[in-house]
């Protein structure tokens, strides 16, 4: 099978790594990729946003499958644009609203009885501010549209809540995405990420993982795209996973069918767990990053087979996704300053992927005549699979300095909660 992967982050590098192991693969291209991908696999002369050119390229090259990594192309309708010429792994534009609009997503959850937090949507600052003042602290304020993971504020008091509201609704900090604002009930608990492969009818979950969203140790500092992840997550028991299946995944799949957009591709349920209760924080329409970098090292099936069957509506013959025993971790090396304005073009060490067990997945790197440099806030994700979470944490934090250079930082407590 000849496959085109779209995207340029650590998630895509991990998908590329796992897809490359498939016996069914004949050729794998990435558009556009980053400094971690083999040069000959990278497609530079087409841009995904130019749908006409992309259609021509996909049809001329006779791809058998297009795998879409990030949310932006899906929200822009890339699946609708290509699916008559090639199967596409990823939902259509109608279903992509589950991530593209938080307001749509919340209405969907209410309509199909998927447990989540109460909320109200506002377009008027004064009404939003009056509503906020009627609520107990802490306050959860979200922009409606895509905001690269930075649209959500969890404010401990009214003063910071007002500031968050003002930035979004009056100061235009998030552009058009900020004009509609959602104010949500605060849900206490522990977060977990469940990714499910969907074929329109069925949702098959991978093992749950846990992201670390805050920039610094002990969950301090600002929210980021994710600073590390691990699996398995001890509190995600088989009983809880069954609840996620029936109360979240099955209802979402049935709901999307009823809405006329049967869900194909990856459905990401971001969950808040408190004791036996599970509620959805958000749906995403693609694999999570960095969780996927740890997850891929644990998957014990042919990923290409799974993604192809999901894209073609054919998961019926598969009962479950198999995982290796043990545990996996990913620790992100980020540029100093991230998630604010961060250091650029940091010279990186020569990273030989074949040495040792740790896999350096590239998130933001590029080659220059002088060598590999950073090209983004999250630079590398170091993935490691092993016999237990304690074992992979110990090995990771013993060997991590081999990969870290001046100008990068990382959290030292990834996975500590899972031990
Ligand atoms: P989201 O982009 O919706 O996933 O929100 C980003 C992060 O904000 C989540 O991962 C949670 O840590 C936090 N968050 C969002 N909504 C809530 C909520 N209703 N209650 C508590 N924390 C939340
Ligand atoms: N790790 C969070 C996300 O992918 O949205």
- CA 293 centroid distance within chain: 10
pLDDT tens digits for range 16-54: 999 999 999 999 999 999 999 999 999 999 999 999 999
* CATH number attached to the domain at 118-184: 3.30.1490.20
Write out residues in the chain with pLDDT < 70, as ranges: 146-150, 177-178, 352-355
Asked if residue 115 has its Cβ within 6 Å of ligand 1, the reply is no
Atom 9 (ligand 1): residue with closest C-alpha?
A: 281
> Which atom, in ligand 1's list, is nearest to the CA of 186?
20
Distance 152 CA to ligand 1 centre (A): 7
pLDDT given at position 171: 85
CATH 3.20.20.120 at 327-409, yes or no: no
CA quadruple 196, 183, 173, 32: dihedral, nearest 10: 0
| pLDDT at res. 177 | 61
Which residues line ligand 2 at a C-beta cut-off of 6 Å?
A: 149, 211, 226, 284, 288-289, 291
Task: State the pLDDT at residue 356.
Answer: 82
337 pocket-lining for ligand 1 (C-beta < 6 Å): no
Does ligand 1 lie within 6 Å of residue 187's CB atom?
Answer: yes
CATH class of this structure's domain 2-89: alpha beta
Distance 408 CA to ligand 1 centre (A): 26
Sign of CA dihedral 48, 49, 55, 60: negative
Ligand 2 atom nearest 288 alpha carbon:
4
pLDDT tens-digit readout, 219-229: 999 889 999 99
pLDDT attached to residue 293: 98
Q: Where are the domains of the chain?
A: 2-89, 118-184, 188-317, 327-409
Ligand 1 atom closest to the CA of 184, numbered from 1: 19
**Nearest ligand, measured from the Cα of 281:** 1
pLDDT of residue 352: 66
Task: Give the Å distances, CA to CA, from 75 to 49, 69, 72.
Answer: 11, 12, 5
Question: What mean pLDDT, rounded, does the chain reach?
Answer: 95
Q: Which residues pair with 335 in a beta bridge?
A: 408
CATH superfamily assigned to domain 188-317: ATP-grasp fold, B domain (3.30.470.20)
Ligand showing the shortest atom-to-Cα distance for residue 150: 1
Same fold: 118-184 with 188-317? no
pLDDT digits (tens, 9 = 90+) for 88-109: 999 999 999 999 988 899 999 9
């Amino acid at each position: 099978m000849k496959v085109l992967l779209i995207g340029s982050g650590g998630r895509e590098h991990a998908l590329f790594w796992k897809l490359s192991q498939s016996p069914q693969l004949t050729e794998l291209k990435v558009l556009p990729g980053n400094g971690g991908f083999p040069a000959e696999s990278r497609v530079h002369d087409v841009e995904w946003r130019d749908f006409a050119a992309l259609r021509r390229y996909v049809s001329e090259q006779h791809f058998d499958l297009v795998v879409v990594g990030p949310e932006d192309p899906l929200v822009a309708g890339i699946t609708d644009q290509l699916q008559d010429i090639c199967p596409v792994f990823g939902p259509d534009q109608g279903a992509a609203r589950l991530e593209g609009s938080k307001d749509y997503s919340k209405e969907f959850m209410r309509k199909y009885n998927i447990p989540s937090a109460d909320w109200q949507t506002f377009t008027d600052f004064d009404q939003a501010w009056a509503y906020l003042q009627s609520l107990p602290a802490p306050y959860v304020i979200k922009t409606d549209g895509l905001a690269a993971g930075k649209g959500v504020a969890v404010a401990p008091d009214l003063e910071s809540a007002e500031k968050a509201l003002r930035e979004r609704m009056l100061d235009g900090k998030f552009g058009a995405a900020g004009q509609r604002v959602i104010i949500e009930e605060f849900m206490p608990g522990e977060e977990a990420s469940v990714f499910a492969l969907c074929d329109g009818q069925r949702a098959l979950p991978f093992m749950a993982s846990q992201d670390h969203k805050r920039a610094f140790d002990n969950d301090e500092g600002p929210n980021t795209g994710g600073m590390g992840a691990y699996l398995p997550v001890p509190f995600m028991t088989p009983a809880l996973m069954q609840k996620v299946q029936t109360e979240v995944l099955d209802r979402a799949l049935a709901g999307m069918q009823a809405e006329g957009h049967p869900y194909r591709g990856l459905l990401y349920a971001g969950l808040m767990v408190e004791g036996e209760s599970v509620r959805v924080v958000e749906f995403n329409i693609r694999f999570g990053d960095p969780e996927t970098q740890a997850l891929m090292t644990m998957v014990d099936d042919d990923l290409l087979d799974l993604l192809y069957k999901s894209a073609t509506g054919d998961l019926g013959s598969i009962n479950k996704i198999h995982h290796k025993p043990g545990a996996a971790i990913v620790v992100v090396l980020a540029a100093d300053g991230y998630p604010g304005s961060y250091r650029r073009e940091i010279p990186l060490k020569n990273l030989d992927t074949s040495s040792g067990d740790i896999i350096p997945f590239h998130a933001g790197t590029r080659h220059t005549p002088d060598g590999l440099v950073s090209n983004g806030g999250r630079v590398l994700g170091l993935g490691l699979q092993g016999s237990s979470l304690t074992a992979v944490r110990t090995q990771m934090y013993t060997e991590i300095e081999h990969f870290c250079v001046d100008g990068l930082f990382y959290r030292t407590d990834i996975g500590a909660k899972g031990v």
